[in-house]
Amino acid sequence: MTVDEAVDVAEMTGYPVVLKLLSHTITHKSDVGGVQMNLNDAAAVRNAYCRIQRGVSERYSVQDFHGVTVQPMLKLDGYELIIGSSLDSQFGPVLLFGTGGKLVEVFRDQALGLPPLTTTLARRMIERTKIYSALQGIRGQKAIDLDALEKLLVSFSQLVVEQPWIKEIEINPLLVDSNGMVALDARALLHSADVDLGGIPKLAIRPYPTQYSRVWKTKKSCTVTIRPIRPEDEPLAVRFHEGLSEESVYLRYAHRFKLSQRIAHGRLSRLCFIDYDREMALVADYKDLATGRHEIVGIARLSRRHDSDKAEFSLIVTDRFQRQGLGTELLRRLAAVARAERLGVIFAEVWAINHAMQRIAARLGFQQQRILDEPMVRVWLNLSESAQPHPVLTRGAAAADVSN
């Protein structure tokens, strides 16, 4: 864009305007005076254009100057934030959130996180910064919409996950106030076309496995969504355990397990916020059409044994949804997930009096054998021809703790 074109665009946009450097090689505009604000007439636009061009020529070369962009000057009384991502050789893409603007490197008020984010993880990143106190509202300033900021961080992290060609990306400044948010500037740096994506550091945290989500109907025609568990499912997990009878709890855990222990935050947060590479938990999510309320009505879990192709499974269905085929479907889906994850054997130790679980396993082709000198039955399913039969435990052998 030439200086005359910049003036024409400014006239059409309406004063005041902002001129910003357009360059394919310079990513930090402020280093060369590449952002000129509060321009109120054509003469100011021409002078600003020349200042930007001169700043680039003095510090770099005229070839690095490709013109300017013209934007309306926004008058907002808010806070400048930064959201960004860069590639780490060990952790892959790393997210950044904090105080933005020109002084971002002076204040160094930043929090780091790993994609993909959930709303809970996004809020924790926000809370680790000093500017969080201001975002909640201080000295007559209204609080910003923190829920909207969380969703923006989640969407930004999803962009980083879905686009491996992105080497670096940032929004700075992101101007926020009680009325909303607007990105005043952004930049993105891509890998060169000859880069092998297979050699780029992978995500440290596996993304949410949406491929394992399916809709299914029970024998009573109740529609449920069987999907991998999410960290934000903890409140639903609490209500799930509150709806279990003592008999269901006893058959699942083979001992009296108090409700207060089952719904303890430390326990449920660990079971809901999982590493999908090491374990997989499927929940049956039922939505009451009358109230719109979601509830978990069944949970099935796979926990991979360390350095092994074996995984232990567990399964429990809330009393209202028992004898509707849900337990069978959950275990069938769990076996399909195990095959997709290239596991060789899945197994469980079932309380001997839990005949319903044994019937479900038999229906799906699991082998069964009573554990010697114990009131337990070992059930297992070989998922590949190369898988070795699972050994039967004797008295004193330890079993992994797999708890829904």
Report whether 69 contacts 19 (CB < 8 A). Answer: yes
Q: What is the pLDDT of residues 66-101, one digit of tens each?
A: 888 898 887 767 889 999 999 998 899 999 999 988
Quick one: average pLDDT of 220-239?
A: 94
Residue 205: the pLDDT is 84
Domain span holding position 119: 79-199
Domain-embedded: residue 392: no
Q: Is the pLDDT of residue 342 over 70?
A: yes
Strands of 196-309 (E only): list them. 214-217, 223-228, 279-287, 294-304
Domain of residue 153, CATH code: 3.30.470.20
Residue 322: the pLDDT is 94
The amino acid at 385: E
The DSSP line for 62-94 is GGG---EEEEEPP----EEEEEEEEEETTTEEE
- Say whether both 258 and 158 belong to one domain: no
Domain-embedded: residue 252: yes
Q: Is the pLDDT of residue 395 over 60?
A: no
Q: Which two tokens stand for residue 141?
A: 């300033």
- Say whether both 241 and 337 belong to one domain: yes
Quick one: average pLDDT of 353-378?
A: 92
The strand pair at 79-88 and 166-177 is best described as antiparallel
- Say whether both 229 and 329 belong to one domain: yes
Residue 258: the pLDDT is 92
Domain-embedded: residue 267: yes
Cα–Cα distance, 402 to 271 (Å, whole number)? 10
- Say whether both 335 and 263 belong to one domain: yes
Grouping H, G, I as helix, E, B as strand and the rest as coil, residue 256 is coil
Q: Which one has a higher pLDDT value, 197 or 31?
A: 197
- Say whether both 37 and 153 belong to one domain: no
- Say whether both 66 and 215 belong to one domain: no
- Say whether both 27 and 101 belong to one domain: no
Q: Is the pLDDT of residue 36 over 60?
A: yes
Domain-embedded: residue 305: yes
The percent of residues in the chain predicted with pLDDT above 70, rounded, is 95
Quick one: average pLDDT of 25-44?
A: 84
* Residue keyed to tokens 């938990």: 281
Q: Is the pLDDT of residue 326 over 80?
A: yes
Q: Is the pLDDT of residue 153 over 60?
A: yes
The DSSP line for 187-200 is EEEEPPTT--GGGS
Please list the residues that pair with 369 across neighbouring strands: 378
Domain of residue 11, CATH code: 3.30.1490.20
Q: Is 306 exposed, middle or buried (CB count within 10 Å of its CB: 0-12, 13-18, 19+)?
A: exposed
Cα–Cα distance, 152 to 154 (Å, whole number)? 5
Q: Which two tokens stand for residue 169?
A: 């990306």
Cα 61 from chain centre = 42
Contacts of residue 140, Cβ cutoff 8 Å, sequence gap at least 6: none
Q: How many domains does the chain have?
A: 3
Residue 385: the pLDDT is 57
* Enclosing H/E stretch for 51: helix 42-59
Domain-embedded: residue 205: no
Quick one: average pLDDT of 348-376?
A: 92
Residue 137: the pLDDT is 82
Residue 287: the pLDDT is 94
Domain of residue 320, CATH code: 3.40.630.30
* Residue keyed to tokens 């070795």: 388
Quick one: average pLDDT of 136-153?
A: 87
Highest mean pLDDT among 46-50, 204-208, 235-239: 235-239
Grouping H, G, I as helix, E, B as strand and the rest as coil, residue 285 is strand
Quick one: average pLDDT of 375-389?
A: 78
Model pTM score: 0.68
Q: Residue 38 region, left (φ>0) first, then alpha (ψ -120 to 50), else beta?
A: left
